[in-house]
Chains A and B, each alone.
Chain A
Amino acid sequence: MEVKITHNEGKTFVKLNGRIDSTSAEQFQKDINPLMEGSDPDIDIDCTGMTYTSSQGLRMILLLQKSVMARGGKLVMRNMNPLVKEVFDITGFSNIITIL
């Protein structure tokens, strides 16, 4: 999973490309670590290239949402493909994260 992070006008923009599964989970966790602490807690994640996530990915996204909320920010995920979106729906994540 490729994680590209940019900052613009006080917001954090993230572009995801690839899969979060058992092979890439550890690396993904390291890649999103900076997002857990940064000073721009408004995070916009472009999921166009995100093809797959396992429960490990969901877990890390949940932790990210918790930390964003604690810092008074907002997490938005956009352009999710329908298969991945279905996973977010089933697990109730669509209710706790803004998915556009």
Chain B
Amino acid sequence: MSWKIIGIVTVISLVAQIATAVVSQIIIAKEMVRTPELDKHPWEILHYSPHMHIALIVIILSSFAVMFFVCRRVISRMSRPVELMESDIILARKIQMGMLRKDFPPYIYALLEPAREVGGDLYGFHQKGDQLYFSIGDVSGKGVPASLVMAITSAILRFVVELDMPLDETLVRINNSFAATNRTGMFATLFVARIDLKTGHMDYCNAGHNSILIIPPDAEPYFLKSKPNIAIGMFENFAYEAEQFDIKPNTRLVAYTDGVTEAERSDLSQYGNGRLMAWAKNLVETGQSTSLQEKDIVESLYASVKTFVNGNAQNDDITIASIKLSPKEMVDNSQTVKQSETSAQKIINSNVEIMTKKRFNPIVDKTSEIVEYLMASPDMPTDEALRFKIGLSVEEAVENVVRYAYDGGIGWLEAGTDLNHDSLVLTIELRDAGMPFNPLEKPDPDINLPANEREVGGLGIFLCKKLMDSISYRYEDGNNVLIMKKKLVNPVGTTDNKQAV
């Protein structure tokens, strides 16, 4: 840039000098014509004309003035793009930091310190009903390119929460779209989880990200093991695998990016997993793990890292998040939600179904397991005939979902039972987030056709319809919901259920 300025200044001054010389010559010539003193040297002629002196001085000054003003404009025009970029970056940081939610409910807190004005780390959380969706990630690189990818990934994750997709499918889709258009070799590590705030059940999928630190209330902290899924953006069609973990009450989860573990001090040594574990153990030993809130925990780790680096420049984004489920928010998994009811509650409860349910994920080849879970429910009858009919209906309905609901069979199924103790109607609910499909739409098979004309398909749901008292379907919030009901009356006419006295 400075060469340009010098070049322009040189050209202008040359032009000024030439102009001065030319004008001087013209004036001299004019003088000579007016006063033809041929013996005199041209300089002497000049010497005698005050007008010419003034003219020369004016020309030289004005050409410098012209040069000055032109240069100033050129320089200011060249420096303006730089000023503009700085304010753009500040705006970009505002936008990026604005994408990170800071309205934390009491059970979660997170902190993100970018290394440059904008960075590639991300975190996200969203509570939908009892489900907490949480994500943390790290896009390779820093600055504007990483922040662009960070913004896109954050937006996609937020959108995906609305769709209630299974976690492994979420990552498969994000990875495929990322990897397909990835020309720069960038990638992102990502950890996504869905935590049931009532039961503490967590489905999670770790794509190359740092292991989550688990701090139990009464045992040694440890790193949560996860399957070796690769970071997203590297290879298309990688089959991500989700896993499950049950969070006990008062257990804390600490998530972080490698801005923590790879924080460097001046001797180039890194904070590392060792110090991270030591920090966690210290929290437990000093009782701080019990007394401190999530915000304090996160700031404690941040302070620990900052103390370690001791003023050394931060070379990577630092992100720390802490989640803790306390017992008052949770219900013990083994208990059903049935307690002794007042008569008022009974009336309410007989209309409102309080389901005991369980989510299965993945569901491939799990038909028997899901059927067993349902049939073991205390809501189920003991009468053999009733159990046979209900069991068969349940198997057919579950098999339908396991086989056909999800493309590639990756997905979840939620199965639950409820028994209305007054009407003795047993309700079974199956819920999945697979492609919208109403099994009741299919016409019943014609059972009067001869063998050679009978079709092999369509028998499953037909059996459900015939063996259960009622069966209904609705599509709700992105889920297929199938409800089957049966009144627990055995063929003799007396009622049947385990709780009958």
Contacts and interface: CB of A to CB of B under 8 A. Distances in A.
Interface residues of B, number: 29
Interface stretch (A8-16, A30-38, A39-47, A60-68): A60-68
A55 interface: yes
Contacts of B478: none
A96 B467 contact: no
Nearest to B368: A23
B463 A87 contact: yes
A96 B396 contact: no
A87 B451 contact: no
Interface in A67-100: 69, 83, 87, 90-92, 95-97
A55 B451 contact: no
A66 B450 CA distance: 10
Contacts of A21: 367-368, 395
Given A22-B395, A54-B396, A63 B451 contact: no
A91 B450 contact: no
A92 B460 contact: no
B160 interface: no
A58 interface: yes
Nearest to B465: A90
Contact of A52 (B388, B449, B463, B466): B388
A59 interface: yes
Contacts of A22: 367-368, 395, 399, 402
Interface in B457-472: 457, 459-460, 462-463, 466-467
A92 B392 CA distance: 17
A73 to B, nearest CB: 12
B451 A58 contact: no
Nearest to A75: B451
A96 to B, nearest CB: 4
A91 B463 CA distance: 7
Contacts of A65: 451
B451 A69 contact: yes
A71 to B, nearest CB: 13
Contacts of A59: 456-457, 459
Contacts of A87: 392, 463
B448 interface: yes
A55 B402 CA distance: 15
A92 B402 CA distance: 26
B456 A90 contact: no
A96 B395 contact: no
A95 B448 contact: yes
Contacts of A63: 456
A17 B125 CA distance: 53
Query: Which bucket holds chain A's interface residue count?
Result: 20 to 34
A83 B448 contact: no
By CB atoms of chain A within 10 A, which of B368, B392, B445, B450 has the most? B392
Given A54-B392, A65-B451, A96-B451, A91 B367 contact: no
B388 A83 contact: yes
B352 interface: no
A97 B451 contact: yes
Nearest to A65: B451
Nearest to B455: A62
B454 interface: yes
A66 B455 CA distance: 11
Contacts of A58: 459
A58 B454 CA distance: 12
A66 B451 contact: yes
A83 B447 contact: no
Nearest to B403: A22
Nearest to B447: A92
Contacts of A95: 447-448
Interface string B466-490: 1100000000000000000000000
Nearest to A94: B447
A92 to B, nearest CB: 3
List of 9 A-B pairs having minimum Cβ-Cβ separation, nearest first:
A92-B447, A22-B367, A55-B459, A96-B451, A55-B460, A59-B456, A83-B388, A90-B466, A23-B368
Interface of A: 21-23, 52, 54-56, 58-59, 62-63, 65-66, 69, 83, 87, 90-92, 95-97
Given A62-B456, A97-B451, 15 more contacts: A21-B368, A22-B367, A22-B395, A22-B402, A52-B391, A58-B459, A62-B454, A83-B385, A83-B388, A91-B445, A91-B463, A92-B448, A95-B447, A96-B450, A96-B454
Interface of B: 367-368, 384-385, 388-389, 391-392, 395-396, 399, 402, 445-452, 454, 456-457, 459-460, 462-463, 466-467
27 contacts: A21-B367, A21-B368, A22-B367, A22-B399, A22-B402, A23-B367, A23-B368, A52-B391, A54-B392, A54-B396, A54-B399, A55-B396, A55-B463, A56-B399, A58-B459, A59-B456, A62-B451, A62-B456, A63-B456, A65-B451, A69-B451, A83-B384, A90-B466, A91-B462, A95-B447, A95-B448, A96-B451
